[in-house]
Amino acid sequence: MISRRSFCKKSLLIAGGLAIPLSCLELFDPKRLLAEKDDTGARWVFLVDTRKCVGCGFCVKGCKVENEVPYDANVTRTWVERYIVTKDGKTHIDSPKGARDGFPNKGIDIGHGRLEEIKDDDIEKAFFVPKLCNQCDNPPCVQVCPVGATYQTADGVVLVDRSWCIGCGYCIMGCPYGVRFFHPVFHVAEKCNFCYHRITKGMQTACVDSCAFGARRVGNLRDPEDPVTRVIMTERVNVLKEEYGTKPQVFYLGLSKEVK
């Protein structure tokens, strides 16, 4: 009869022996390797021209309607910030309701429902900056997701699987740009996905379509003839928070040093 000791030893050996070849199957999944090497498709990027944005907030409205983000909820996939730099060197920033209704007040929103009035004579410069998910090349949100519900497609867009997200909020914490939030209806992590359902069909994103001033554009970085790619390659563009090493893929024209 087999002794308990030898039974334990042998079953450990068999389990270990089985585990090694099985893990190799996962390591060398040819389909996955091919998908990772695939650089023939598109690489979606975004171009924001801050010199053209007037802060009307149509893009925010358009995005909310297109992407089923509740209209009155105080979260948004994209927003517009207003910057007012006064002559004393101070920077005043606000984005009431993400600028969904534009900027109806002249005063700067400083929270608690209070407004800070700034005299016209004190203003040195003022401008608007639209923000959205940067679809980073090195996305920290994908890195930190404990179940892989946030993932990056081969064409560079970071997506969230709503049926898989556990709602821990680690990705929200990991994003330096504050673009992520919990969807008030689905209770999972939510973010801008460059209107993936539209751009993959050759359409423009909802915010690009809503912008009457051409301040927002979406393009394919792997197509040298793409007008957006040409701007990024030939003009002086900038990105947000480069110091985090996330390699953001939303490029800005006319970015000012005050932008946070």
Site for another protein in 2-31 (CB under 8 A): none
11 in Cβ contact with 4 (< 8 Å): no
Cα 46 from Cα 48, distance rounded (Å): 7
What CA–CA distances, in Å, run from 179 to 72, 165, 183? 17, 17, 12
| Position among 112, 119, 236, 257 found at the interface with another protein (CB under 8 A) | 112
Q: Examine residue 237 and tell whether it contacts another protein (CB under 8 A).
A: no
For 238-243, the CB contacts below 8 A with 24+ separation are: 239/134, 240/131, 240/134, 240/177, 241/176, 241/177
* Beta pairing partners, 219: 45
- Backbone angles phi and psi of 35, in degrees to 5: -60, -35
User: Cβ closer to another protein: 100 or 216?
Assistant: 100
- Say whether residue 126 binds another protein (CB under 8 A): no
Task: Kindly state whether residue 188 participates in binding another protein, applying the rule CB under 8 A.
Answer: yes
Judge whether 7 and 13 are in contact, CB under 8 Å. no
Interaction of residue 248 with another protein, rule CB under 8 A: no
Q: Is 118 in the site for another protein (CB under 8 A)?
A: no
Binding mask 139-168 for another protein (x = CB under 8 A): -x-xxxxxxx---------------xxxxx
Residue closer to another protein (CB basis): 93 or 231: 93
Interacting residues toward another protein by CB under 8 A: 73-76, 79, 81, 91, 93-95, 97-98, 110-112, 131, 140, 142-148, 164-170, 172-182, 184, 187-188, 243-245, 260
